[in-house]
Amino acid sequence: MSERMANIGSSVKASQNFLTSRTLINRIISLAGIEAVDHIVEIGAGKGHITRSLVSKCERVTAIEIDHKLFKNLKNKFNTQANLYLIYGDFMGWNLPATPYKVFSNIPFNRTTAIIRKLTGAANPPEEIWLVIQKGAAKRFSGIPRETLSSLLIKPFFETGVHYYFRREDFHPAPSVDAVLLALKKKKRPDISFHQRGLYTKFITDCTANRSRLHQLLTKKQISTALKMEKLSCDIISGDMLYVQWLCLFRCYAKFTPY
């Protein structure tokens, strides 16, 4: 095992809080509506508590585990499970499936942002992403109480929502923060085309970092006309704008910008 893998594994282990109740695990898996035909990717199989329930419900489970000791225990525990594919390694360096798949995982809280960015930014993203994550992170990616850069970059392609609120004592060891089950479901028809993604990312990143940037990219008349045509409020302050307003103004900007 490389020194880099060992360091990452130690960091992940320090941030991992396990769900052990089979009743609770089956309950949250039921919320995800996982079907027998699904291919589920589990990021950080840990001790196999969630893995055990997943393999009993769907056709194929691919579970990635970075901790060598936990991986060996998983191999021993599931050595006769034909529909489980165990992978030892860092999820961030693993190639996502080319065929349709979903993700269901209790991930290390300290890797939440990197994992969500990889999944939602992939050329072949999951059909659905169900993650046990810190409540504060879930709010940030959902745009609650106001939109963030993270939520704005996700929303053209995914619907977001919190489906379960955990108690801290549901975990072992108990985390020092509240956790929830966040779902990100791929939109059948995204709000922008895939080839516009780079331009959209630049537009949103620039405008949220610098409030005056929006008025440099679009005139006051362009802004008011675009919003009025969609029957949206023209009284805007970039820090309080809704996603639909951002989307409307990006579409206006894209008409006049080559990409």
Strand spans (E) along the chain: 18-19, 39-43, 60-65, 84-88, 102-106, 128-134, 158-165, 171-172, 179-186
pLDDT digits (tens, 9 = 90+) for 69-86: 999 999 999 998 999 999
Cis peptide before 173 (omega within 30 of 0): yes
- What does the pLDDT read at residue 194? 87
**62 near 89, Cβ under 8 Å?**
no
Residue whose C-alpha is closest to residue 246's, from 201, 195, 216: 201
pLDDT digits (tens, 9 = 90+) for 201-250: 999 999 999 988 999 999 999 999 999 999 999 888 767 899 999 999 99
Spatial separation of the C-alpha atoms in residues 161 and 180, rounded to whole Å = 10
**Which residue type sits at 224?**
S
pLDDT digits (tens, 9 = 90+) for 108-162: 999 999 999 999 999 999 999 999 999 999 999 999 999 999 999 999 999 999 9
pLDDT above 90 (res 258): no
pLDDT above 80 (res 8): no
- What does the pLDDT read at residue 259? 63
Compute the average pLDDT of residues 17-40.
96
- What does the pLDDT read at residue 225? 95
- What does the pLDDT read at residue 238? 66
Mean pLDDT estimate for the chain: 93
- What does the pLDDT read at residue 236? 83
